[in-house]
């Protein structure tokens, strides 16, 4: 399932003169400025004049045969976690609102800019990226396109990133993923979200949540779009996805942990996807991975995210704790209860987990699971703290497995028109990103029924 237009179709239109960068950017700006839309809560900053100037520059370069890439002039959004030269990086907070503007682009932003992508604006997010739901009490929460009048969550933490693409306010988005922050909002909004192996994309210039788990990845309308953006971010050639097929691929389905408590719609869509993949020639085997059941114990004291975020935030908390979202502050402060021995034990437990799981899945091309066990709940249902934390833990449960395993994973839509949005997650060992993208491209066409 993909929504038009994709980056390849836009590049073809630009090359053929059927559109221009200015037209694309203006269309996105019009959507952002539409008072009946979600632009106000999706973007924390839009520099209209700079975006139009970038568009005009790309149109001029293309007319001279000097466009830096086929995608030059296509507008994309940037999560508010990344430095953009001359802009303040707030990370969806008010705590950092008075910090100095960045002096240079983050490397990931610079690579997108060098490829000619137009930076349309900075997107809203869960404060400091510490939630999988996407709620932001400071700047508002953009509503999911699904049953928008009922106010369902967008997923997080890259909430604005997802809505910017789903609502055609951008044609791709730069996000981060520490426990599912690209994949959860993608699954909840009918998009594709990719979490690369963490070391593939430099993380400098992005405010960290967990230096052990953070990854930088794209959200977009198709696997091909994500492959293009990932190649730019990783400074690699884009993989050829054209001849991909699921026939003969071997996928494992973990019976342990990740299939517990699935909502009815998620379970039905997952089984349908498995059936379609099997019918297309994929070999699917359900296996036990008992080590996954140990993950809650490994993270019992808050895990890497609490320990490492507390290290970054503790001085800010000492001076301005009242400015934090209390739900975020609670999770960060759990890091204060961990000592050096706890952290060393955490490192050892992760190493043991990775080794054990890799042995169990070594004979497979990948691992399949529902991206989240739930469909997007209504914002109004999460006013109670206990329900918020319960739902947040569920949303993060499956995707966070892959961050802890230092792997790569992609969420593709596996719902049909009119159904609640859900995602199928394809996962692979660290370093197998390009093969995973090829497999996902093949799987997406099968799962969508096309």
pLDDT band at 450 (very low <50, low <70, confident <90, very high): low
Q: Are 232 and 115 in contact (CB under 8 A)?
A: yes
- pLDDT (tens digit per residue) in 262-272: 999 999 999 99
- pLDDT (tens digit per residue) in 134-144: 999 999 999 99
> Is the pLDDT assigned to residue 228 strictly greater than 90?
yes
> Is the pLDDT assigned to residue 244 strictly greater than 90?
no
| Chain centroid to CA 43 | 16
Omega before 56 within 30 of 0, i.e. cis: no
Core vs surface per residue 21-42: b (16+ CB within 10 A) or e = bbebbbebbebbeeeebbbebb
> Is the pLDDT assigned to residue 17 strictly greater than 50?
yes
pLDDT value of position 425: 99
> Which residues, 6+ apart, have CB-to-CB distance to 37 below 8 Å?
31, 167, 169
pLDDT value of position 170: 98
Query: Which sequence positions are flagged as catalytic?
Result: 79, 157, 181
- pLDDT (tens digit per residue) in 55-99: 999 999 999 999 999 999 999 999 999 999 999 999 999 999 999
pLDDT value of position 3: 56
- pLDDT (tens digit per residue) in 175-202: 999 999 999 999 999 999 999 999 999 9
pTM of the shown model:
0.98
> Is the pLDDT assigned to residue 323 strictly greater than 70?
yes
pLDDT value of position 2: 42
pLDDT exceeding 70 applies to what percent of the chain? 99
> Is the pLDDT assigned to residue 1 strictly greater than 70?
no
In order of start, what are the domains of the chain with their CATH numbers? Answer: 1-301+352-450 (3.90.1300.10)
Cα–Cα dist 111/52, whole Å = 19
Ramachandran quadrant class, 251 (left: phi over 0; alpha: psi -120 to 50; beta: rest):
beta
pLDDT value of position 293: 97
pLDDT band at 297 (very low <50, low <70, confident <90, very high): very high
Cα–Cα dist 421/184, whole Å = 11
pLDDT band at 239 (very low <50, low <70, confident <90, very high): confident
Beta strands (DSSP E) in 255-374 are 283-287, 366-370
pLDDT exceeding 90 applies to what percent of the chain? 97
């Amino acid at each position: 399932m993909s929504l038009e237009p994709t980056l390849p179709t836009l590049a073809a239109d630009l090359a053929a003169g059927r559109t221009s960068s200015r037209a694309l950017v203006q269309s996105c700006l019009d959507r952002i400025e539409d008072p009946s839309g979600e632009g106000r809560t999706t973007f924390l900053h839009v520099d209209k004049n700079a975006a139009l100037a970038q568009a005009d520059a790309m149109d001029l370069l293309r007319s001279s045969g000097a466009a830096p890439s086929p995608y030059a002039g296509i507008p994309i959004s940037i999560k508010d976690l990344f430095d953009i030269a001359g802009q303040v990086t707030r990370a969806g907070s008010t705590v950092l609102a008075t910090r100095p503007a960045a002096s240079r682009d983050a490397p990931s932003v610079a690579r997108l800019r060098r490829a000619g992508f137009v930076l349309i604006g900075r997107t809203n997010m869960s404060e400091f990226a510490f939630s999988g739901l996407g709620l932001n009490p400071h700047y508002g929460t953009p509503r999911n396109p699904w049953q928008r009048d009922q106010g369902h969550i967008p997923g997080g933490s890259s909430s604005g990133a997802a809505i910017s693409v789903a609502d055609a306010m951008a044609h791709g988005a730069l996000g981060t993923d520490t426990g599912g922050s690209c994949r959860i909002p993608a699954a909840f909004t009918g998009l594709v979200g990719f979490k690369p192996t963490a070391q593939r994309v430099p993380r400098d210039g992005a405010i960290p949540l967990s230096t052990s788990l953070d990854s930088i990845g794209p959200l977009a309308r198709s696997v091909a779009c994500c492959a293009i953006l990932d190649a730019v971010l990783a400074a690699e050639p884009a993989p050829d996805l054209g001849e991909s097929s699921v026939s003969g691929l071997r996928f494992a389905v973990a019976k342990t942990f990740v299939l517990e408590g699935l909502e009815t719609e998620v379970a039905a869509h997952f089984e349908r996807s498995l059936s379609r993949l099997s019918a297309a020639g994929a070999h699917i085997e359900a296996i036990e991975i008992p080590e996954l059941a140990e993950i809650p114990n490994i993270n019992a004291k808050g895990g890497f995210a609490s320990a490492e975020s507390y290290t970054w935030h503790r001085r800010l908390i000492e001076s301005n704790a009242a400015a934090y979202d209390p739900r975020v502050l609670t999770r960060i402060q759990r890091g204060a209860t961990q000592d050096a021995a706890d952290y060393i034990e955490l490192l050892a437990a992760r190493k043991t987990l990775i080794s054990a799981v890799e042995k169990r899945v070594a004979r497979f091309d990948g691992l399949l699971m529902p991206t989240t066990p739930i469909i997007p709940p209504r914002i109004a249902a999460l006013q109670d703290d206990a329900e918020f934390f319960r739902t947040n833990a569920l949303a993060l449960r499956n995707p966070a497995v892959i961050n802890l395993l230092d792997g790569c994973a992609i969420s593709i839509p596996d719902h049909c028109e009119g159904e609640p949005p859900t995602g199928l997650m394809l996962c692979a060992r660290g370093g197998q990103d390009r093969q995973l993208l090829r497999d996902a491209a093949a799987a997406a066409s099968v799962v969508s029924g096309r």
